[in-house]
Amino acid sequence: MSDPIAAWRAGDQEAARKLVDQYLDRLVAVARRRISQRLASRVDPEDVVQSVFRTFFLRAKNGQFKIKDQDDLCKLLMRITVHKVLKQVEYHTAGKRDANLETEQGNRSVERMQELLAKEPTPEAQVEFLDQLEKLLAELSPKERKILEMRMNGHSEREIAAELNVTDRTIRRLFERMRGQAEHVGFRP
């Protein structure tokens, strides 16, 4: 077998394409097997493999690999793929990004939401809700109350920003602050 890496280093781009074509499907399959179903919406095996080839070609260009035969090349590419998948999994399961903390998105979650919406609140719960809402609204400026009112009436952040001459970021910060205040006083809608 001729050395495709040496040919690529010598400027033969066709050799690089052949290497990619030869290993692409196999590496995508390796990446796909190592990505859980929950992470599949966040981590694309093909993106991982593109990164594998980027790393491989960059480091091979600098002469960082000693590859004796095709088997060594295959093992190296597999190892890089597994390493990159593990790094992606680590990233997407850290702290607030943890996919395991996400709520399910299937039919059961829709059914549960419909069950909750079908229930009528008790009179006591209605009074408690209105008291908490009043307390939160009292802490808002007139402009902030207008932002909240427009949002509750279905206006988008962009529409509110244009009408009230504020930035989208101002609106998002207001809602983040309100969420924090609501959680602080134990507000439960």
Does the structure show a pLDDT above 80 at 145?
yes
79 has pLDDT over 90 = yes
Average pLDDT over residues 143-165: 87
Q: What does the pLDDT look like over 96-123, one tens digit per residue?
A: 656 555 555 556 666 776 776 677 777 8
pLDDT at 27 (0 to 100): 93
- Give residue-wise pLDDT tens across range 13-41: 888 898 899 999 999 999 988 888 777 77
Top pLDDT among 157 and 109 is at 157
pLDDT at 187 over 80: no
* 74-83, 93-102, 140-149: least confident range: 93-102
Q: What value does the mean pLDDT of the chain take?
A: 81
Phi–psi pair at 28, nearest 5 degrees: -60, -40
pLDDT on residue 1: 44
Q: Whole-angstrom Cα distance, residue 139 to residue 60?
A: 61
pLDDT band at 8 (very low <50, low <70, confident <90, very high): confident
pLDDT of residue 175: 82
Mean pLDDT of 73-78: 90
Q: Give the chain's domains with CATH numbers.
A: 4-98 (1.10.1740), 117-184 (1.10.10)
Query: What does 103-137 look like in DSSP terms, one character per residue?
Result: PP-SHHHHHHHHHHHHSPPPHHHHHHHHHHHHHHH
Q: What is the pTM of this model?
A: 0.50
- pLDDT at residue 63 in the model: 81
- Which residues are CB-contacts of 56 (< 8 A; sequence separation ≥ 6)? 65, 76, 77, 80
